[in-house]
Structure 1
């Protein structure tokens, strides 16, 4: 954090002034040099003179964090900070961001820039498992509330709900979203369109997380209709993905095809190959686990693995193993099932249930290979993992495999 002398020197250089030019006729060049190097303190009269020549308010020089420094810091942080799917790479970036903000935390003035820095610091600290994120979050909330910044306040409530979600406190997370949504609707009369879609999206996700597929589907469809009416594309790919998966669970093939086709159209529109890969992953999961068309599933898997050999392992290793099991290529199935790794940042019961199928399929493969002890071991692992999850076809399969292995 810059000292008074450093602030004066930085501002002088920004304005292209020499020591002599800034000193003018009321200070000597030598005295100004001492001030800039923190070897002398200016009198209030000299400070006022320096501030006038630098065209800033005297309080700007005296503040713990001058306005220009605060704004420069926020600009730097905003360029670094992104909200995206959590990954190990993002965690490293968040640690760096938190480290840049931390020296300023206790000296931030009561203004918007401070609230935003406190919010980003809290988010980064939470995701990097640091213990000092709660007080800055409360301070950010207080500033936003005082400045009547409704959308920013709502974002913090959503963040609190997502914290409960990532800790698998799904019912609590849903309650937080619903109560905060009600609060902001009462205060504003009508939510900002993007904020309404935020609440619709997260409430829908949380309904499905507690096993209420009916309300999840209702909110998804309302959000998609609203997006079209408002001509917004915000969160539309995530809504299509969730709606497509819900349709698969419900055995609604018409809507499954509809939402997957919408995902593909959106991928073409945005030129985003990742969205196309997600659409393929949904279709492959349906072909393997519901239609049992293993040859079609395998063809789609191979297409993706050929196109994105490294990036696709996470999405497709499990599904390739399942397809190979269905095609009775058990040794190869074992290889691909063991390539699958559960991504540590998955928290939704749908995602977890899909990935917990790995051990059930390992049990089935080991049983076919006559390795009954290993078959029972993996069936037991799958059963213990799936037990807390809401009812789903994946849970039904896993429990059926366990019964088969213990019969």
Structure 2
């Protein structure tokens, strides 16, 4: 399979052009030599210039893989990628290996851009170098093909990367700049893409403590969905509002949004919403109303029915319930089994999970193991310090003060 550089060199020689003649005024002879010898990749602008100099269409230089083969590869890869993002099974390396042979020789079309987008994201999640280049190439193709919804996905991915680094204000500013750039170009995004932007912007506002703007955007998104009879993101919007209502102690609002979620779960027959509801209910009863027996019953029932699943959040709630009921050794067992998922990045989720070490500190202190109590109180404090002033932070700092003083 000839490389892009080899095809450029072949066409140049067929037309009797020297390196200097083909390079012209827009490229250097040295850069063109690197491209022909596959030591550098041309930008789309440079590729267009080379194609013009050679008197061919840009796609003729890029059209290495037959369209039917490209579509087949994309279908296979896209399916694997969606499964991996949803279920976190065997990792991203197998997907990377499937795309890698094609990555440098892709024609200028949607399938290529999508493959490059998936390739870059898999490289990122697999913690491999070089993911930025294929992402930029994907965006350039999407823009050139006027696929604005796909370009918007690239913009949101970049904002999410800042979010994953817990740089919430930067992430929000980046997302808002992206929305502005689409609006200034009069780019019309599909309704589902608009709701993706709305949801991400809302949770970023919550992350920086701007509850008013977060609630405003969520209400606008819900109203927009109702007007157009679109149910996309509704469960996510209601879930976030339920959690927020719990945090601010608004019982009526919490009950309202939980009822909305229950209705949506029944309508969509989505069992995962029921699991979220159980978790929110157990958390509310443990951390806010201190109905420990009811919280224990919810968590215990779930864990009995889902023995083989990753149930770390329910481990945490069962441990808290057992602590509240005075069963300290059992509580310590469940806390010890709890692990914070590497995919949790929002301050709400992180702060809730950071409570674990504070509870462990209290147990160790009661058991007379002061050194371990101090150790876990320090871990909890260190984790919670950069987080916003949520109820979890007050609890952890109070525990730290009690243990260390």
Q: Is the 8 A contact 2:84 2:91 kept in 1?
A: no
Aligned mates of 2:358, 2:91 — CA distance in 1 = 36
Which of 183, 186, 193 does residue 185 from structure 1 map onto? 183
Q: Is the 8 A contact 1:86 1:345 kept in 2?
A: no
> Equivalent residue for 1:383?
381
Aligned mates of 1:180, 1:232 — CA distance in 2 = 24
Q: Is the 8 A contact 1:304 1:312 kept in 2?
A: no
Render the CA deviation track for 1:139-185: whole Å, top value 9, x for unaligned.
11111111111111111100100111112121111111111011112
Aligned mates of 2:2, 2:305 — CA distance in 1 = 50
Q: CA deviation at 1:312?
A: 5.8
Aligned mates of 2:92, 2:347 — CA distance in 1 = 26
Aligned mates of 1:380, 1:65 — CA distance in 2 = 57
Render the CA deviation track for 1:56-81: whole Å, top value 9, x for unaligned.
xxx99x94212222222222222322
Q: Is the 8 A contact 1:359 1:379 kept in 2?
A: yes
- Give the TM-score taking structure 2 as reference length: 0.82
Q: CA deviation at 1:315?
A: 2.2
Q: CA deviation at 1:378?
A: 0.7
- Give the TM-score taking structure 1 as reference length: 0.81
Of 355-364 and 219-228, deviating more is: 219-228
Q: CA deviation at 1:217?
A: 1.9
Unaligned stretches of 5+ residues in structure 1: 4-58
Q: Is the 8 A contact 1:280 1:300 kept in 2?
A: yes
Q: Is the 8 A contact 1:317 1:340 kept in 2?
A: yes
> Equivalent residue for 2:72?
72
Which of 273, 285, 295 does residue 287 from structure 1 map onto? 285
Residue correspondence of structure 1 range 212-231 to structure 2 within 5 A: 212-231=210-229
> Equivalent residue for 1:277?
275
> Equivalent residue for 1:357?
355
Unaligned stretches of 5+ residues in structure 2: 4-58
SS at match of 2:64: coil
Cα 1:85–1:105, aligned 2, differ >3 Å: closer, same or farther?
closer
Aligned mates of 1:63, 1:274 — CA distance in 2 = 44
Q: CA deviation at 1:86?
A: 6.2
Aligned mates of 1:126, 1:178 — CA distance in 2 = 23
Q: Is the 8 A contact 2:84 2:92 kept in 1?
A: no
> Equivalent residue for 1:255?
253
1:305 paired to 2:306 = no
Q: CA deviation at 1:370?
A: 2.1
Q: Is the 8 A contact 1:284 1:301 kept in 2?
A: yes
Residue correspondence of structure 1 range 329-344 to structure 2 within 5 A: 329-344=327-342
SS at match of 1:106: coil
Which of 111, 115, 119 does residue 117 from structure 2 map onto? 119
Q: CA deviation at 1:210?
A: 1.5
1:235 paired to 2:209 = no
Cα 1:83–1:350, aligned 2, differ >3 Å: closer, same or farther?
farther
Residue correspondence of structure 1 range 5-16 to structure 2 within 5 A: none
Q: Is the 8 A contact 1:217 1:246 kept in 2?
A: no
Q: Is the 8 A contact 2:91 2:126 kept in 1?
A: no
Q: Is the 8 A contact 1:382 1:398 kept in 2?
A: yes
SS at match of 2:103: helix
Q: CA deviation at 1:108?
A: 0.8
SS at match of 2:340: coil
Q: CA deviation at 1:189?
A: 6.3
1:266 paired to 2:264 = yes
> Equivalent residue for 2:195?
197
Aligned mates of 1:103, 1:122 — CA distance in 2 = 14
Aligned mates of 1:101, 1:256 — CA distance in 2 = 46
Count of matched residue positions in the alignment of Structure 1 and Structure 2? 350
> Equivalent residue for 1:41?
none
Cα 1:87–1:375, aligned 2, differ >3 Å: closer, same or farther?
farther
SS at match of 2:185: helix
SS at match of 1:82: helix
